[in-house]
Structure formats: structure tokens, C-alpha cells
Amino acid sequence: MIPVFLYIGPEFGLRNEAIEKHKLEAEKKFGSLDYHLLYAQDVSVGEVISLLQGGSLFAEARFVVLRNAELIKNKEDIEILLNWINGIKSQKYDDAYLFLVSDETSVDKKLENLIPKENKQIFWEMFENRKEEWLFSFFSKNGYKIQEEAVATILEMVENNTEALRTECSRFFLCFEKDHVITEDDVENILAHNREESPFTLFNAISDYTKPDSVKLENALSILQKIRNSKESNGIQFIAGITWCFRKLKLWQELNSNGMLNEFELKKNGFSKKMQPQYKNASRIWDYKQTNKILGLLAQVDIQLRQSGSSLEENLLQLMIYSIIIKKGEKINTLEYEKL
């Protein structure tokens, strides 16, 4: 098997699990690994291949995860990857693993065609009934039981991917002994009490079309400050969360324009009953063109944060939020913001 994989799609909990499974298998086979987590906007494809080809005094194999693979479109980069893959085939070595990862549901066709069919997978968001099954299984594996009403409440309170569900539900294991039956009251007490602000609560706040933009801006900046004051504050992760929300909004708008806002399509595309009013409201604030502008803005701020580090993080994030709410994704200059 050629150790080159293309894992894409918005269900990053299951996607990360699949990558981790391969990583554990590689560690079992080779012992120590030279592991790298990289981003396509930060490194060239040539640099990635150099890492895969280079040996190490301390590891028997190389394991590289390259995120934002949707950015790989250049003909030269595709050829570099093709030459490396052909080299693997001819030399028949398997001590270098490359995982091309994207939150999008598609990448450049030339890139996709390089990857063997059996090594490609799209991780779609789960239907509501599958999330319920996942939760029952998760609690059971950890020695707990949970009531149906409690499962429904969790799905109303927690973002719709398995990584977020795993993080939030693990809190119950610190509060109750094994064999405890998790009730709806337990969920309300544990999750509501411990609920912190996040990119998702911020998106919910700025999607309220009943409030004037000035009020939403004030609320959003307050939420941002709470997030930045938390122990786990990370500007890059914050951008990733907001980007996820606006990609979801773009998908809603595409379904709407094609007359596909029916129950089957909404479930298929991961819009829970809780999320549907939120994205319906958001689509009244930003149109499709503005949503695309905002996604472009978020990508630009992501690159700026990676280049500047934490020194300009607060200013960049505040300007970004101002642009999203007041300017609907249009670029602004610092002087314009300071006049407010």
C-alpha cells in the first residue's frame, strides 16, 4: 500500500481518530516516529517531501500531516508530489507517511487523482441518529449509562462534531463514579455551569438579526475578550472555529439557492434542529457574496496571525470582527476602526 492519504471533510473528530489509528500502527511497526504537523500555507510541497525523504538518527520512520490541502493547486507542486509517489512505487519503501488533510469536501482534481482510491475518504458530518448512537457508545465504553433525554440535551448544547462531543462529555467522568446513569439534570448542571465562550457562541451572538450592528459588535468584542482571557486561548483555533461557522453558512446558502432546504438535505449536511434557526437568521444578515468575502478575510487573518505571532493577535482579531459585523467582510484600515 502506498502510504499517501487524502482525508477531507468537516467531521474532524472521526478524521483525527483515523489519522491517529494509522500513527499508532506505524509506531507499532517502526518504533519511534519523526512526526510533523504542517500547514500548506506555511510550507512548500518541496519542503514537505524533503522531510519525508530525510532520515533521522532518532526515528525509523517519518509521519507528516499536512493540513489545508485544498491550497495545493500549483502544477509544479503536483508534479513534485507525483515524482515522490512514483519513487515510492519503484523503491517499494513504506517508512514515510503523508496525510493530506482539509476541512473542505473537495480539493484540486489534479491532487485528488494522485491518491489511490482506497486511501481517500471524505468525513461527512454524522446524521442526528448516528450522533445519538455515538454518544450512547461513548458513555458505555467509559463505564457509564445515559438517558435518552440527556443525549438529546447534549446534542442541543454541544457543537456538532465528535471532537467537541468527546471533550465536553469527558467532563462527566470527573464528576461521577462509574455505573452512574447520566440524566438530563446532570447535563444541565455540568455543561451549562461549565460552558465557556467559544467561536461558536460568538457566531451565535453576531447572527442575531434583531439587534443593531453596534450592539452585536459590543457583545462580540466582549465574548472575544473572555475567550482570550481563558487558559486555552489560541488565535489560530479561534479563526478555525469562526471559519467553520461561515463555511456552514455558505453551505446553507447553496442549499437554499438550489431549493434544497428540506429535512433530508439538512440532516445529510449536518444541520441539526438547533442549528437551523441560527443559520436561517445568519443568511438574513450576510448574502452569499458577503459570506465568501468573510471566508477570504478569515484566511488572510489566519496567515497574518501565523506570521506575526501573538504580538498583534488582539488587534487583528478585533479588526476582523469589526469587518464581519459592520463591513460584511470588506477590508478596513486601522484608522477607520480607531475613529469608533
Q: What is the pLDDT along the chain (340 residues), one digit of tens a residue?
A: 678 999 998 888 889 999 999 999 999 999 888 999 998 888 999 999 998 987 666 778 899 999 989 999 999 999 999 999 988 877 767 789 999 999 888 899 999 999 999 999 999 877 777 888 999 999 999 999 999 999 988 887 776 678 888 888 998 999 999 999 999 999 988 886 556 688 888 999 999 999 999 999 999 999 999 888 876 677 888 898 899 899 999 999 999 999 999 988 887 887 877 788 999 999 999 999 999 999 999 988 988 887 776 678 888 999 999 999 999 998 766 545 455 5
Provide the CATH number for the domain formed by 128-194 in this structure: 1.10.8.60
Separation in Å, CA 270 to CA 79, 134, 159: 36, 15, 11
Q: Which residue has the cell 507525483?
A: 82
Distance CA 186, CA 169 (A): 11
Distance CA 191, CA 295 (A): 30
Stated length of the chain: 340
Best CA proximity match to 122, nearest among 199, 202, 7: 7
Separation in Å, CA 327 to CA 206, 213, 279, 319, 333: 13, 10, 19, 10, 11
Provide the CATH number for the domain formed by 4-122 in this structure: 3.40.50.300
Contact between 96 and 81 (Cβ < 8 Å):
no
Separation in Å, CA 249 to CA 38, 202, 211, 217: 27, 14, 19, 19
Q: Which residue has the cell 460568538?
A: 202
Please report, for the chain, the start and end positions of each structural domain, with discontinuous segments joined by +: 4-122, 128-194, 199-338
Q: Look at domain 199-338 and name its CATH class.
A: mainly alpha
